Chain A
Amino acid sequence: MTGRPRRFRLVHLLLVVPYLAVLWPPLYNRVEPSLAGIPFFYWYQMLWIVIGAAVLVPVYFADERAASK
C-alpha cells in the first residue's frame, strides 16, 4: 500500500468491455444460435456474467502488483 495516487494503466480498459458486450441489445436479441434449447439471448448474457467476472481478474492482479511495489 502506498500513498501515491493510482495511475491509469492499459489493463483498466478491460473494465469497459462488459458494458460494450451487454448494453447494445441488437447484438444478442435473437434466438439462434441456440444452445441445448436455450435461445442465444439468454445463454449469451449468462455467459457474460462469467466473462465479466473473468476480465476483472487480470485487472485485480495488475493493481495488486502495482500497489505492493
Chain B
Amino acid sequence: MNSVATTIFVALIALVTVLGFVAARWRSGDLSQLAEWGLGGRRFGTVLTWFLLGGDLYTAYTFIAVPALMFGKGAIGFFAVPYTIIVYPLVYAVFPRLWSVARAKNYVTAADFVRGRFGSSSLALAIAVTGVVATMPYIALQLVGMEVVIASVGLPTKLAIGTFAISHLPLLLAFVALGAYTYVSGLRAPAMIAVVKDLLIYGTVIAAVIVIPIELGGYGKIFSSVGAKSLLLAPATSANLGPQSAYATQALGSALALFLYPHAITGLLSASSRHVIRRNAVVLPAYSFALGLIALLGYMAVAAGVKASPAFADGFKAFNDNYAVPALFLRMFPSWFVGVAFAAIAIGALVPAAIMSIACANLFTRNIWREYVERECAPAREARVAKLASLIVAFGGLFFAIGLPVQYAIQLQLLGGVWIIQTLPSVLLGLYFRSLHPHALLLGWLGGLATGTAMAWTKAGVATTYVLHLFGVAIPCYAALSSLVLNLFVSVMLSFVFNVALGGVRTDATTAADYVS
C-alpha cells in the first residue's frame, strides 16, 4: 500500500540485522565466557551504556502504549514522566554498589548476588524465577508493538487472510534473525543496534514534535482538543483520594520495580565501571524527556482526529488505541519518513527483546542450570547453555505473542511489575543489610506475591490499582507498592525473629569493601 515506506522500513531492519552479526567483533572477547557473551565483557563505557540502557528501558511497547493511554484515558497516562524522573536518583544512589559487588565476585545476575550474600540457593531460585516469569510477557509485548508497525507499514500480518504461519511472516523473519545474532554476538548485538535505534527515535520524536503541532495549529489547539475532564487528574475528595493517588503510587512503584527487571540489571552490570552508572543516571533523563514528548503524541492523535477517519478504522479495530501513534504518523508524515519512524519503533522492539532474552538466559544458566542440574559446569559449557537458553526464551516470547490473545501478554506484563518488585528487599536492601535473614526474605517475597496478585486480580481482568480503605478514606494504590510494603514488613520483622531464634553466623561471600570500589 505504501511502497516507499515499506522499502525504507525493510532496508533499515536489514541494516540492523547485519549490524547484529558484525557486533561480535566489537572489542571482541572470548565469547565462550558467560560474562563476555551475556554482559559484553563488562566493557561498555558511558556512551554505549547510555545507548544500551536507553534502548533497553524505553521500549517499542512504551512508545506505542504510553501515547495510547494518553489518547484513551488522558492525564493518568502521563505517570510515565514522574516515574522516569524519580528512578534516576535511585539508580545513582544504590546501583553502583550492585555493580561493584558483581564485578568483585563475577556475579552476572541479581540472583547470583543474593546467593552469595545470603548463602541461600532457594532464595536465589525465587529471585531468578521471578525475573524470568516477569520478563517473558514483556518480550511478548515487544513483539506486539512490532506487529502494530509491521501491519501499519503495509506488510501483511494478522490483518491479512492466510494461514497462521504466513500471516506472521515478517515478525517470524525478524525474530529468527534476532535469535541468530543474539546467539552469535550476545549483548554486543543489542548494544550496537541500540545506537541506530536511538538515533532514529530521537530523529522521529524531534520531527514529530515540531512538524505535527505546526500542521495542527500549535500546542494550544492540541491541548484544547482534549476534553477538560481528561486533561487533569480528577481532584481528591474527603472520602476518596482518587486518580491522584493512583498516579503517584504508579509512578513510585514503577520506579522501584524498573531496575529490578533482569534486562535492566544486565544493562547496568555491563558497564565498565561504577562511575559509568553514576554518569548515566545524570544523562539517561534525556530519554525521559523524549518519552514525555512521545506521550504527548497521544494528544496530537486526538487533535488530528485519527479515530474518526475511515482510513484507519481497520487498524483501530485490530489494535485498539495502540494504533493511535501509527495512524498519526501515517496521516502527518510523508511516506519515506513513515518508513523511518516505523523502523525506529520496530528496532525499538528488537533491542529490548534481545537484552531480555539474554538476561533470562543468564538467570537460567547461573541460577537454575548450574545450581541444580550441572554443578561442575565449565565456563565454556556455561556460555553454551546460556546461548541455547536465549533462543528458547526468544521463541517462547514469540509463541506468547502470536499463539495467545494479546490481552494475556498485557495482563501478565502488568502482573510482572507486581511480581518483580517483590525481589526488592533481597536485592536492594541486601546491598546494605547482611543481617536480613534468607528465610524471612523468602516469606516476605511469598507474602508480597500472594497479596499483590490477589489485589491485582479482578473478575474483569488484571487491574494494577487496588483501592485501600484506611480510616474511612478510599486510597487507590498501585498493587505493587502496597504489596511491597507488606513484603518489607514481613522481611524485616521475621529477620529479627529468625536471627534471635535460629542465631548462628550465616555465610556471606561478600565483604564490605566489595561494594564500594
Task: Write the residues of chain A forming the contact surface with B, with a CB cutoff of 8 angstroms.
Answer: 1-6, 12, 15-16, 18-19, 21-26, 29-31, 36-39, 41-42, 45-46, 48-50, 52-53, 55-57, 59-60, 63-64
A-B contact pairs, 17 of them (CB 8 A): A3-B517, A16-B89, A19-B89, A22-B85, A22-B86, A23-B82, A23-B248, A26-B244, A30-B232, A49-B289, A50-B285, A52-B86, A53-B283, A53-B286, A56-B89, A60-B278, A60-B279
Residues of B within 8 A of A2 (CB): 516-517
A-B interface, 6 closest residue pairs, ranked by CB to CB distance from nearest: A37-B220, A22-B82, A53-B285, A25-B244, A15-B89, A37-B219
How many A-B residue pairs have C-beta atoms within 8 angstroms? Tell me: 117
A37 touches B223 (CB 8 A): yes
Q: Is B500 an interface residue (CB 8 A)?
A: no
0/1 string, B235-256, CB within 8 A of A gives 1: 1100000001001100110000
Taking the closest CB of chain A, its distance from the CB of B326, in whole angstroms, is 23
Interface SS of A by simple majority: helix
Residues of B within 8 A of A59 (CB): 92
- Distance of A59 Cα from B231 Cα, bound (Å): 35
Taking the closest CB of chain B, its distance from the CB of A41, in whole angstroms, is 6
Nearest B-chain residue to A14, judged by Cβ? B89
Taking the closest CB of chain A, its distance from the CB of B242, in whole angstroms, is 10
**A26-B244, A31-B231, A38-B223 are contacts. A52–B512 as well, Cβ < 8 Å?**
no
Q: Is B88 an interface residue (CB 8 A)?
A: yes
Contacts A37-B219, A64-B278 known; 7 new A-B pairs at CB < 8 A:
A5-B515, A21-B85, A38-B219, A38-B223, A39-B232, A45-B82, A53-B285
Interface residues of B, CB < 8 Å — how many?
A: 45
Residues of B within 8 A of A49 (CB): 81, 84-85, 285, 288-289, 292
Nearest B-chain residue to A55, judged by Cβ? B89
B223 touches A56 (CB 8 A): no
Q: Is B75 an interface residue (CB 8 A)?
A: yes
Interface SS of B by simple majority: helix
Q: Is B398 an interface residue (CB 8 A)?
A: no
A37 touches B232 (CB 8 A): no
A29 touches B252 (CB 8 A): no
- Distance of A22 Cα from B222 Cα, bound (Å): 24
0/1 string, B83-127, CB within 8 A of A gives 1: 011101100110000000000000000000000000000000000
B233 touches A5 (CB 8 A): no
Residues of B within 8 A of A63 (CB): 278
Taking the closest CB of chain B, its distance from the CB of A34, in whole angstroms, is 8
Residues of A within 8 A of B82 (CB): 22-23, 45, 48
A45 touches B281 (CB 8 A): no
Q: Is B275 an interface residue (CB 8 A)?
A: yes
Nearest B-chain residue to A4, judged by Cβ? B516
Residues of A within 8 A of B334 (CB): none
- Distance of A63 Cα from B407 Cα, bound (Å): 46
